[in-house]
Structure 1
Amino acid sequence: MIKLPTQKMSTLLAIHGWSAVALGLFLYVVIVTGTLVVFDRELGQWASPTSTALNSPLPAGTGKVITDFAGGLNPDYLDEVFVFPAAGDHLRMFFHNHTDSGEEVGVLALLDPAQGTVIAQYEGETAEVFRQLERGMLVEFLVRLHVRLLMPGSWGLIITGTLGFALLVASISGLFIHRHLIRELFTLRHRKGALLTARDAHALAGSWNLIFALILSFTGAFFSVGSALGLPAIAYVAFGGDVETLSEQLLSPPIAENARHQPLADLEHMLADAGLRSGVAPVGFAINHWGRADAALEVLVAPRDGELWGDKLLYAAGSGEFLGVQPPLGKAPSLGGDLVALMSPLHFGDFAGLWSKILWFALGASSAYVCASGLKLWLKRREDAPRWRLLARLNIAVTQGVVLAMIADALVYFLAMGRGLPMYELLLGTFILVLLASTVAALCFAGSRVAQVLQCLSAAGLVALPLVRMATGGPDWFEALAGGHTVVVCVDAIFALAGCAWLWQQRCSHLRATVPMMVGVK
């Protein structure tokens, strides 16, 4: 039991409540989308599967395909090359350079490693080419919504970083507010009234979720604020504002500059060597200065069993010589570099494979519930005050409308796939339209009725997703299993069962509300 003076407890309650009121709805959007993004790879395989499932992100022969493709590009685009996994076991290849104005210009290509073919490519500025993606844009859109709330430039990172700090404040204040923390871990009173049950459920979920919320808020704020403000601030202090020089000092491989022309060594051999040295499969790589004597190849390999992150193996790409393991940060191993590397597995929950993802998904869903229920309880205490009624209706519109909007985006994605339409704009427009419609409905009609209708639509959308996916050209279950895409069948089944269960729950809730009214009439 944590004992605090009455005045301090009142202050903490005010901080805890007002942090939720000020930013709770935005925080809910970030948490809900982040909960889904935990399974970004699985969702990508479900929405955009390759012709055949792969056991390795970079199967044998991929290096030659990439080398042959690079041979047909403008040599200026070979200054920096990134190859990394994309949705559905595809690979993204980004060949680019930096213009005098600081913009990145290049070619983004999508590779099907199973067939060894490039299935799409786009040329232009970075922001534009990534917006032109069609295959895999569903997951990409969810990631952008989670990371930046669809805001341009650094504004989105600043906002999500602020939301991370707000969650950190709410978590720390919640630790002191729950004075009987151990008891609240196991308390849920069903027969003491609906309001008390709701308070117990909020406290129960918040108590079990407390450590996760602290981890999530700190790592999320680190990624957002570190990218938007941290690096520029360090660059301003130590390098006169030159972010590019700072990045070279912290992240670039330690190879002396040499602009002399030299062909790239056998990329296929270097990737195979990285797999043999590390004992695990490579998952992506980067090449700096392709075609120069100072070319560097950094191969990222998957984590070994029992490790939280994978190594980055460094090669002199011109000669093929192995130079060693590149530290996560800086030129030499350090505690700071290890702590930075630790942030990603803790935030995304991929440190123990599928089981840690399931745990992170459950905790993320619990966090979303704590966020929504906390704001609802805060407003319930002030339901007689007219000035808070608008926020109460907005709470219904956002908490229910965001879920419906994401399901609608998935349906639009399948319906628009292969039609040459601007996929990002379609998903953005659908999301905004559904959210606006939910808001208008919440403002014009009874809140409880609107919530029920939105939940029924969401449940029906989940049931429809597998059918629409197959009807628009996606593999059916027999084709998916024959191609090794077990995840496609699993995700279909989960969505269909979740939608049916949700519809049944809504029907039972409607009956519980209707029967007493009918009895009262008789």
Structure 2
Amino acid sequence: MSLRQSMAGLHTWGGLLPSWLLYVIIFAGSLACFDKELERWMRPALHVPVASSMTADEVRDWLRRNVSDELHAFWTHAPTEREPYWRLGWEVDGSMEIHDVAFDPAGREPMPGSVGGRFFFDLHYNLHAGMPGVYIVGLAGMFMLVALVSGVIIHRRIFKDFFTLRPQTNGQRAWLDAHNLFGVLGLPFHLVLAYTGVAIFVATYMPAGIQVAYGSDIEKFFGEVMGAYIREGIHQPSSQQVSLDGLIERSRQRWDGAEVGWVSVHHPGDVAAVVDVRQRDESRIAPPQATLSYDEASGELLGEQQVSAGYQTYSWLTGLHMAQFGGTLVRVLYFLLGLAGCAMLVGGLKVWLAKREERSGRALALVRALNGAVLGGLPLASLALLWGNRLLPASLPERAEAEGWVFVASWLVLAIWAVLRRHQPRALYREQLALGALLALGLPLLNWLTTRDGHLLASLARGDWALAGIDLTLLLAGLLCALFAWRTAQPMTQAARQPRGRRQLVEEGV
């Protein structure tokens, strides 16, 4: 058996089995390129840009008034251009649960709960399943690397096929052309993103070295590689705390006017509390980050740390994976190439089905059901999430969790629908596309009806393209869904129904 023949089986099955999981990961990652813009769209208080007058000391005061538990640490970030609001997170001693709030720039109070754009970011890297999800995503990334490399080996006419697209031919040939086109188009991107996605979690996937060298003290490990002053709390309350705003200003002066990023306080209120002020990294793909550590009680400078060379490399890989450079243009490019990756997976699954269409069995029914549930269900559930964001009352307790359940319940209903319609896939796709057109085209209208300053016309009037881009993308997606739904409703041509001969398919490299 030749290398190409042996790689064909690996590519077919190594690509098929994780395809639906990879589709979820890549689709969510594509949307996460604009997570901060989605955050603004999903929070009406952020629709009109307002300069926040809140200060770091006021953020700390809010935490003191509203959280009575003893804190292990808290961290906060000042407003930025893409996130024009104060962010606050904290961790209670003895608990691994992370809490966070976002403050209304105008009202200085936490905004109504929402999963925001981070919902898709978390879905991308851990499937909302915590550490087990991180391992599952890492395994899927390894499968993707195997599928990409084996795909390059088996496609002997890979660059010629890149310029070949025959949508009017039989289904298998057309889908193979689409699979080749989108696969070659995004090949360097997909290779880099799959590799960096696995590499940036290497300390999680292979923790043995840390456990041996640091005695399983993970916090000490990250403190050293990131550049942090480590001092344990002694559980003795301090009678005073210096101004965080004063420490921020001192740090700016020491860095010749450079902006400050995260400010974190470890063991707040304790006599051994440490305040870390980290320099803001405008482009996480290039410069090293400095950290100044102060005593919270006296304001004494305890040390200045630069991140290690290893962490600089890690930060570079992370910035490359997360498009933390190049601004909007790079994020748009990542978004489009991510969608090309989704299209590549759809084409591959369709080719697998088309080659076995004349057979019957549970395997084909299962693949059809999964296709309908995942390939069509995930985008529709994402649209349902945005509908839920607009329709759920702002005063609803645990509103963010309610939005998440809208997504889960919608996807579950869509999955059941796909299972019931698995023997009529063409009808199912037509119905899903029609529903997608209705949901996507209806969202800008719903946005106009439920918000005063966040709808498309208001955003365009003030030149807010970041916010208007969400509505424009929804309109474009809705129109495309409507077009494809109409095309799917048309009778199939005789050429599309007629299968190719086995010999011809082999000669064409299928």
Pairwise TM-score range, normalised by the shorter structure: 0.7 to 0.9
1:430: how far off?
Answer: 3.1
Identical aligned residues as a percent: 24
**In the alignment, does 2:418 pair up with 1:426?**
no
**In the alignment, does 2:162 pair up with 1:159?**
no
Render the CA deviation track for 1:263-302: whole Å, top value 9, x for unaligned.
3332113323444526553343212233445443333444
- With over 3 angstroms needed to count, the CA separation of the structure-2 counterparts of 1:74 and 1:456, relative to structure 1, is closer
Residue 94 of structure 1 contacts residue 106 of structure 1 at CA under 8 Å; is this kept in 2? Answer: yes
Provide the rounded CA distance (Å) in 1 between the counterparts of 2:416 and 2:168.
Answer: 35
Alignment correspondent of 1:343: 317
Provide the rounded CA distance (Å) in 1 between the counterparts of 2:19 and 2:120.
Answer: 19
| Partner SS state of residue 156, structure 2 | coil
Render the CA deviation track for 1:284-333: whole Å, top value 9, x for unaligned.
321223344544333344434795467243231434456676444xxxx3
Alignment correspondent of 1:131: none
Alignment correspondent of 2:35: 40
Provide the rounded CA distance (Å) in 2 between the counterparts of 1:306 and 1:95.
Answer: 24
Provide the rounded CA distance (Å) in 1 between the counterparts of 2:99 and 2:240.
Answer: 20
The one-letter amino acid of 1:461's match is L
1:202: how far off?
Answer: 0.9
Provide the rounded CA distance (Å) in 1 between the counterparts of 2:174 and 2:147.
Answer: 21
Render the CA deviation track for 1:434-488: whole Å, top value 9, x for unaligned.
3333333333331011011101111211111122223234534565568885422
- With over 3 angstroms needed to count, the CA separation of the structure-2 counterparts of 1:28 and 1:467, relative to structure 1, is same
**In the alignment, does 2:498 pair up with 1:506?**
no
Provide the rounded CA distance (Å) in 1 between the counterparts of 2:223 and 2:28.
Answer: 32
- With over 3 angstroms needed to count, the CA separation of the structure-2 counterparts of 1:199 and 1:147, relative to structure 1, is same
Report the count of equivalent residues: 485
What is the Cα-based RMSD across aligned positions, in Å?
Answer: 3.3
- With over 3 angstroms needed to count, the CA separation of the structure-2 counterparts of 1:48 and 1:14, relative to structure 1, is same
Alignment correspondent of 2:173: 196
1:199: how far off?
Answer: 1.2
**In the alignment, does 2:59 pair up with 1:66?**
yes
| Partner SS state of residue 298, structure 1 | strand
Alignment correspondent of 1:373: 347
Alignment correspondent of 1:19: 14
1:74: how far off?
Answer: 5.8
| Partner SS state of residue 137, structure 1 | coil
The one-letter amino acid of 1:465's match is L
Alignment correspondent of 1:119: 110
Provide the rounded CA distance (Å) in 1 between the counterparts of 2:69 and 2:395.
Answer: 32
Give TM-score scaled by structure 1 length.
Answer: 0.82
Residue 227 of structure 2 contacts residue 291 of structure 2 at CA under 8 Å; is this kept in 1? Answer: no
1:255: how far off?
Answer: 5.0
Give TM-score scaled by structure 2 length.
Answer: 0.84
- With over 3 angstroms needed to count, the CA separation of the structure-2 counterparts of 1:110 and 1:433, relative to structure 1, is closer
What does residue range 172-187 of structure 1 map to in structure 2 within 5 Å?
A: 172-187=149-164
Provide the rounded CA distance (Å) in 2 between the counterparts of 1:455 and 1:248.
Answer: 49
| Partner SS state of residue 163, structure 2 | coil
Provide the rounded CA distance (Å) in 2 between the counterparts of 1:53 and 1:480.
Answer: 8
- With over 3 angstroms needed to count, the CA separation of the structure-2 counterparts of 1:9 and 1:107, relative to structure 1, is closer
- With over 3 angstroms needed to count, the CA separation of the structure-2 counterparts of 1:357 and 1:105, relative to structure 1, is closer
| Partner SS state of residue 287, structure 1 | strand
Alignment correspondent of 2:387: 411
Structure 2, gaps ≥5 residues long: 497-510
- Correspondence for 2:413 among 422, 434, 437: 437
Provide the rounded CA distance (Å) in 2 between the counterparts of 1:165 and 1:436.
Answer: 28
- Correspondence for 1:236 among 211, 214, 218: 211
Alignment correspondent of 2:474: 495
Give the stretch that moved more between structures: 498-507 or 47-56: 47-56
Provide the rounded CA distance (Å) in 1 between the counterparts of 2:327 and 2:259.
Answer: 15
- Correspondence for 1:401 among 377, 380, 385: 377
- With over 3 angstroms needed to count, the CA separation of the structure-2 counterparts of 1:431 and 1:12, relative to structure 1, is same
Residue 52 of structure 1 contacts residue 483 of structure 1 at CA under 8 Å; is this kept in 2? Answer: no
Give the stretch that moved more between structures: 308-317 or 486-495: 308-317
